[in-house]
Structure formats: structure tokens, C-alpha cells
Amino acid sequence: MYSVEVRRFQRVVAIGAIGISAACGSGSAAKVQSQQVSGESKNNMEAGKLSVARAGSAAPSNAVNASRVPVVLFFGTSLTAGYGLNPDQAFPALIEERARAEGTPIKAVNAGLSGETTAGALRRIDWVLRTPADLVVIEAGANDALRGLPTSAAKANLEQLVAAVRQRQPQARIALIQMEAPPNYGVSYTGSFRRIYSDVASKEGLPLLPFLLNGVAGIARLNQADGVHPNVTGEKIVADNVWKALRPIVIQLDRVAKSG
């Protein structure tokens, strides 16, 4: 059964899906449907690469051994990038602050890119994985749902993303964030989309983090004008939610780093 937050999120997205999709940098629905790939522009892709390059440059190639601080790579969409916010207000940066305050410091790398579908993420993942990481947190699929792309394709892309991480960085842990679909395409699609995350997590043996926007979705005072992207206050709640789920993993990584 869907939570109140999920239903609120679905209602808001249903009303403003076209505007939200444009804000995220997507192309026309017809183009996306025919190509079944993401609608991000070349400029957005290059901006995303530059963001990761800058974040990754702070850590040497042997980051963990040199600093003894685990590197957590957040790979996702505009919701990870912190659309409409300063980089230090996005939830990955807030989680880095929270982890440090609790005595389990991490280096958070924000590899979010606005408008990206799972197909686009799959094309980008090899480049992003040039940054060494101890934990890769995958937030993907929301833009697939906005476009009504086949859930079978999204599921296959998520599985290939996991495979790419394991091939390029076999030592890295992987976590998957649950995302939800708007009701525009019917109950069957919404349910099918929701299930792909638990299916992938179960098949791949991954921890499945709760819906990213729990406690924030559909609440106007916690979101920007588009009703979907959290504002500064909402982002703090997102960070708290994600940190609660990630904290046990980070504690394990911290112990390994200190013992190594």
C-alpha cells in the first residue's frame, strides 16, 4: 500500500508532469518514446561530467588508503543534484556533514544530472566510475516514469547499472533508492514501476533505501514552486531519511577503513 507521501507526490506530478519534465531538461515525449533513451542535452551531460570531475579531484586515486575516509558516490537525477539549490544544500553534501558530526566521516561525491533516465544513466556510469568509491548510491528512474517508458526497460537498465559498478569497482558496496511513478499511466504501470526496485534489490542482493521523498513529497512548504524538487527545508528531511538508511553501511565502511 502506498504511503501518504507517495500519493501526494503522485498527485502533484500528475498535475504538473509536463512542466516538471521541462524543468528537468527532458526532450519531447514522442522523441523519448521512439528512442527509449534519456532526453538530457549535451550541455547537461558535460555539466554533469564537470561536476563529478571537480568532486572527484579532491580525492587521490587511492582515496580510501590515503585519507582513511570512505567515499560515497551519489549517482542520480536532479533530485540528487539538488536542482534549484546550491551544491552544499543538496542532500549528498548534507549527509557528508551529518556523517562527520556523528564521527563517521565520508567524502560525498554528487553525480546527479537533471533530466536523466535510466538509459542515460547507463551511458554515463562508466565515466562517473572514474571516481573511486566505497559505496555507490543509485537514484534513478523518476524521469522514466514521467515519460511513461516501459518498466521492463527501466528494470533492465538498473540491473546493468549494478553490473557496471561491480565490473569497474568490484570492491564498492551498492545501495538502491526506491522511486515512485505518477498515476498518469494507470494503476498497473504505477504498481509495476514500484516493484522493479524491490525486484532488482532482491535479485542483486542490495539494500533498498526508502522512497527518496518520504515526508517531503506533496507538501508545498517543503518543495520548490514545481512541487517536486525539495527546497532547502525539504532537502534537510531528505538527507535525514537517506542518512538513517545509509548509516549502518557507513559505519561498516568506517571500520574497514580504520582497520586497513
- Rounded to an integer, what distance in angstroms lies between the CA atom of residue 166 and that of residue 139? 17
**Could you say which of 21, 26, 51, 78 is catalytic?**
78
Q: Establish whether 199 is a catalytic residue.
A: no
Give the number of C-alpha atoms closer than 13 A to the C-alpha of residue 50, restricted to the C-beta side.
6
Which uninterrupted H or E stretch holds 144?
A: helix 142-147
Per the structure block, which three cell numbers stand in for 50?
564537470
Q: Establish whether 144 is a catalytic residue.
A: no
**Could you say which of 26, 144, 229, 254 is catalytic?**
229
- Who's near 145: CB < 8 A, 6+ residues apart? 154, 179, 180, 181, 182, 193
Give just the sign of the alpha carbon dihedral 159, 161, 166, 171. Answer: negative
Q: 78: closest CA among 46, 124, 110?
A: 110
- Rounded to an integer, what distance in angstroms lies between the CA atom of residue 121 and that of residue 141? 9
| Dihedrals phi, psi of 164, to nearest 5 degrees | -65, -40
| Residue 231 near residue 155, CB atoms below 8 Å | no
List active site positions: 78, 226, 229
